[in-house]
A and B are shown apart, each in its own frame.
Chain A
Amino acid sequence: MVAALKATGVDGQLFKRALLGSLSWLAANHEEVNRLNVFPVPDGDTGTNMLLTLQSAVEDVKESNAAEVSKIAKLASHGSLMGARGNSGVILSQIFRGFARAVEGKASLTPAELAAGFEEAANAAYRAVNKPTEGTILTVAREAGRAAATAASNPDATVPRVIAAAAAGARSAVLKTPSQLQILRDAGVVDAGGFGLQLILEGMLKSVEESEPALAALNESRLPVLAASQVALALPEGGWGYCTEFLIEGNNLDTELIRGQIESLGNSVLVVGEPELVKVHVHTDDPTSVINLAGGYGKVLKLSVGDMSTQHRRILEAEGGAGGARPARPNGAGLVAVVAGRGLVDIFRGLGVDAIIEGGQTMNPSTQDMLTAIESVPYEEVILLPNNGNVIPAAKQVVGLTKKKVHVIETHSVPQGVSAVVAFRPERSGDENMRAMKAEAERVQTIEVTHAVRDTRSNGVKVKKGDVIGLINDKLEIAGDDYSEVVNRALGKLGPDSFELVTVYRGEQASDDELKRLESAIRSSYPGLEVEVQQGGQQHYPFILSVE
């Protein structure tokens, strides 16, 4: 059977079998393609998109007995266009379309005609994309076509050899993609769409020739790359910058000259067009300079600036690295807070606090500590949250010690601090923020639970050393034997009907068991309240509760 194939060209039924082979090979490996997907947004579905597109390409082909390759190619082209999904899928559909056009009217293809079809397929894909990027499926398609053409020029060329050359060309192009795209290099992966195309060509090869030695190598061709489930990308110096795109409308525009100047301001530079209209694409940290430069040449149109660092940061954060740099805020005020406890530090940071001074109940930070933190943030106006009654006086001292405008919001507790930060809006002025945050801080009720360190009587409550005591808004109100009881009584005093949400910040000393009991005690006594538990990690207070 193999010999028979070698003797003939690619007719409709052979091409059909090749497509079915592609489909099964891609189906078997598409998850591996999914894992490679890091560009431009890590959504992990390139393999699935390509597979669904190919399935759709093959759908009508499966039913067809057409002998002419042109008919099968046309069905595949139509089917892939109908089913195209995602960027890679759309490009794949254009590849099929280019191939179908190249073989139009032909019943069967010689090795040379097949190679020409591959080349035209790649050309069509390039033409279809607004801004072709090297190191992607486009490059792989082109290199596959070139390798096929080289193989076809050999006098011994056969159809399987041309396909084998295309697959090998694709494979070596795929391996080179990391050197063409920084993002792939950083991620330690090859391009997913390109790899998908390699699989498609390999699948074709497998189906047209089951015994060629080239196939033995296929099984070794699994990727020599890191498993890329969620790749930790190192942030290049200066961040990723902004994907900046625009058109310049002018006269006698010199694309070479413009490209040269823009290249000094960023990377991934693409400058194409005509003397009257030039399209610019660049990844830069300084879009303003790029736009100013472009403005010197003509009118800047269709400007789009996208922040790529934020996409990148999302991956880092999913990895659990909360320390990602934050985009600088426009005009607004900086936020500085005094916080103790690992979990609480993370919570405040996550909500957008710029600098944190560790400290609180027993370790009151100095005015100098706070001053240093305030000077460290890049804002001329700073909002300071002491988050503890004992810290407020030192915090107020800072106001006269710096040239910066410092607003102290007198938050007496962690819950007040959290509520204030939640109400913060970066684009609002310091004064406006101050008002809104103060109002929010005053609205929330705080319950703090700890143990009495000595016998005492305070606020009419008699306390023995070691008792569990509950403070409501800084005042000792309840003494008892256990956390759940004290908390429930405190909630009862506040009148739970006027509240909706209780947030429990669990301290370092509280055990899992104690937390569980507290949670279920609140839920069963006050079923109308929503309860959220956070690991606060604070010392001295096994539980701090925010009631709002």
Chain B
Amino acid sequence: MKRTFAVVTDSTSDLPADWSKRYAIEVVPLKVLFGQETFRDGVDMTSDQFFTRLAASSSLPTTSAPSPGEFAEVYRRLAKDHDGCISIHIGARLSATAEAARVGAEAVEGFKVNVIDSQSVSMPMAFLCRVAAECESLEEATTAVEQRVPKCRVLALLDTLRYLEMGGRLNRAQAMIGTMLDVKPLLLVSENAEIKPVERVRTRSRAIPRMVEFFRSEQPVEHVAVMHAQAADEATSIAAELRKELPDLEIPVGQIGCVLGTHTGPKALGLVYIKK
């Protein structure tokens, strides 16, 4: 049976390129701004290009959400051959994207858009999109996605907290990370897109096993992916290790996009998953 509703997400979902086609998922890009230059995440600039530019740039880039009008355009186009739409977005606590989608949807009359605040970032959103895409009706998809929203998790290991702090997404005192010493926290993004540290470690080689250990304590999970920013080797070896333990899961390895990369910085690693 052909699905009659559309599935939309934004570029912070890190949706694998082939999923967009295979599951007919529309991706609306956020933007990265280097000074006066604006790039659409994943459209005008790939993740690799972004990190190359970041390394060469003296000032940090900023990011911005798609405008309500950009969402309205997408919905209007989809309204032509769909009878509704589920639009799954980055946690509203982290970005204005979901709000822009909501305002944009209101501008398109007669087309039902269910905007979902995923309360998360990165591939958990992509998994939610796939769940939605495999449903038969918009109502079924909405229910299936809403059930999973509180179960999305992003376990992240950042090489430096500089980028997250500059973007205003982290408070060291609250996170008990300290302002003096270089401490590598293992951060967990859970319900309501709340970012909190679950471990503090001083060296990367100790932090990676801790991350995997923490993930093991979170079983059972329904979907999991290993994400990275310019740390493909480490990500691949984490995925290989986990595949042995969880033979029923596919465990894709993905790259963090430009907009998320602005806040994670290079060499970030993430285990992202949806709990059962």
Closest B residue by C-beta to A304: B192
Cα–Cα distance between A407 and B68 once the two chains are bound (Å) = 56
Q: Which residues of B contact A347 (CB under 8 A)?
A: 178, 180-181
B-chain residues with CB within 8 Å of residue A45 when the two chains form the complex: 62
Contacts of A310 in B (CB 8 A): 171, 173-174
B68 engages A81 (CB within 8 Å): yes
Q: Is the CB of B171 within 8 A of A501?
A: no
CB proximity of A501 to chain B, nearest CB, Å: 5
State how many angstroms separate the Cβ of A332 from the closest Cβ of chain B: 11
Which of A93, A313, A351, A530 sits near B183, CB closer than 8 Å?
A351
B147 is an interface residue with CB less than 8 A from chain A: no
**Is B199 engaged at the interface, CB distance under 8 Å to the other chain?**
yes
B203 proximal to A (CB < 8 A): yes
Chain B residues positioned under 8 Å from A530 (CB to CB):
203
State which of B171, B181, B202, B203 has its C-beta within 8 Å of the C-beta of A350.
B181
Complex interface: chain A residues within 8 A of B192 (CB):
304
Flag A339-352 by CB within 8 Å of B: 1 or 0 each. 00001001100111
Q: How many Å lie between the Cα of A311 and that of B168 in the bound state?
A: 9
A72-91 CB mask vs B (1 if < 8 Å, else 0) is 00000010011111110010
CA distance A317 to B175 in the complex (A): 13
Q: Does A548 have its Cβ within 8 Å of any Cβ on chain B?
A: yes
**Chain B residues positioned under 8 Å from A351 (CB to CB):** 176-178, 181, 183, 200
Cβ of B96 under 8 Å from chain A:
yes
Known: A83-B67, A422-B201, A423-B200. A327 touches B180 (CB 8 A): no
- Which residue of chain A lies nearest to B181 when distances are taken between CB atoms in the complex? A347
Contact residue among B62, B100, B178 (Cβ-Cβ distance under 8 Å from A90) = B100
CA distance A393 to B88 in the complex (A): 59
In the assembled complex, which residues on chain B have CB atoms less than 8 Å from the CB atom of A424?
A: 176, 200
Among residues of A, the one whose C-beta sits closest to the C-beta of B106 is A128
Q: How far is the CA of A491 from the CA of B99 in the complex (A)?
A: 55
Instruction: Find chain A residues with CB under 8 A from B178 CB.
Output: 347, 350-352
Contact of B68 among A93, A313, A324 (CB under 8 A): A93
> Is B69's CB under 8 angstroms from A83's CB?
yes
Query: Which of chain A's residues has its CB closest to B170's CB?
Result: A314
- Chain A residues near B183: list those with CB within 8 A: 351, 422
With both beta carbons as reference points, the residue of chain B lying nearest to A324 in the complex is identified as: B173
Let me know if A503 is at the binding interface, CB within 8 A.
Answer: yes
Q: Is the interface of B mostly helix, strand, loop or mixed?
A: mixed
Q: Which residues, 21 to 47 on A, are CB-close (under 8 Å) to B?
A: 41-43, 45
A511-548: CB near B (< 8 Å → 1, else 0) gives 00000000000000000001010100000000000001
B64 interface residue (CB < 8 Å to A): yes
Of all chain B residues, which has the CB nearest A501? B203
Q: Does A411 contact B (CB under 8 A)?
A: no
A443 — nearest CB in chain B belongs to which residue?
B206
B-side contacts of A324, CB under 8 Å:
173
Q: Render A203-217 as a binary contact track against B, CB cut-off 8 A, 1 for contact.
A: 000000000000000
Chain B residues 181 to 205 lying within 8 A of chain A, measured CB to CB, are 181-183, 192, 198-205
Q: Are B202 and A313 in contact (CB under 8 A)?
A: no
Contacts of B100 in A (CB 8 A): 84, 90
B48 contact set on A, CB distance < 8 A: none
Residue A482 CB within 8 A of the other chain: no
Which residues of A sit under 8 angstroms from B238, Cβ to Cβ? none
B116 vs chain A, min Cβ distance (A): 15
Q: Does B216 contact A (CB under 8 A)?
A: no
Decide: A81 and B171 in contact? CB cutoff 8 A.
no
Cβ of A227 < 8 Å from any Cβ of B?
Answer: no
Decide: B179 and A85 in contact? CB cutoff 8 A: no
| Chain B residues closer than 8 Å to A322, beta-carbon distance | 179
Question: Chain B residues with Cβ under 8 A from A423's Cβ?
Answer: 200
Indicate with 1 or 0, residue by residue over A291-321, a CB within 8 angstroms of chain B CB atoms: 0000000000000100100110110010000
- Known contacts A313-B173, A346-B180; A82 and B203 CB within 8 A of each other: no
Q: Would you give the shortest CB distance from B115 to chain A, in whole angstroms?
A: 14
How far apart are the CA atoms of A239 and B193 in the complex, in Å? 24
Q: Is the CB of A426 within 8 A of B67?
A: no
Given contacts A45-B62, A419-B202, contact A90 B68 (CB under 8 A): yes
Q: Complex Cα distance A140/B223, Å?
A: 49
B78 beta carbon closer than 8 Å to chain A: no
Q: Which residues from A are CB-within-8-Å of B162?
A: none
Q: Give chain A residues whose Cβ lies under 8 Å from the Cβ of B62.
A: 45
Q: How far is the CA of A347 from the CA of B182 in the complex (A)?
A: 10
**B67:A81 contact, CB within 8 angstroms:** yes
Closest residue of A by beta carbon distance from B31 = A85
Whole-angstrom distance from the CB of B194 to the nearest CB of chain A?
10
* Cβ contact of B181, chosen from A81, A84, A534, cutoff 8 A: A534
> Given A86-B96, A90-B103, A352-B176, A532–B182 Cβ distance below 8 Å?
yes
In whole angstroms, how far apart are the Cα atoms of A347 and B99 in the complex? Answer: 40
* CB-contact partner of B202 in A78, A307, A327, A501, under 8 A: A501
Interface residues of A in 79-115 (CB under 8 A from B): 81-87, 90, 93
A-contact 0/1 string along B152-173, CB 8 Å cutoff: 0000000000000000100111
**Cα–Cα, bound, A355→B6 (Å):** 57
Within 8 A of A (CB), among B9-55: none
Considering only CB atoms, which chain B residue lies closest to A347 in the complex?
B180
23 contacts between A and B (CB under 8 A): A81-B68, A82-B67, A82-B70, A84-B100, A86-B64, A86-B96, A93-B67, A310-B171, A310-B173, A310-B174, A313-B171, A327-B174, A343-B180, A350-B172, A350-B173, A351-B183, A351-B200, A418-B181, A424-B200, A426-B176, A500-B204, A501-B202, A548-B203
List the interface of chain A (C-beta within 8 A of B): 41-43, 45, 56, 78, 81-87, 90, 93, 128, 304, 307, 310-311, 313-314, 317, 322, 324, 326-327, 343, 346-347, 350-352, 418-419, 422-426, 500-501, 503, 530, 532, 534, 548
Question: Nearest 10 A-B pairs (CB), nearest first?
Answer: A82-B69, A350-B178, A81-B69, A352-B176, A310-B174, A351-B178, A347-B180, A500-B203, A84-B67, A350-B179
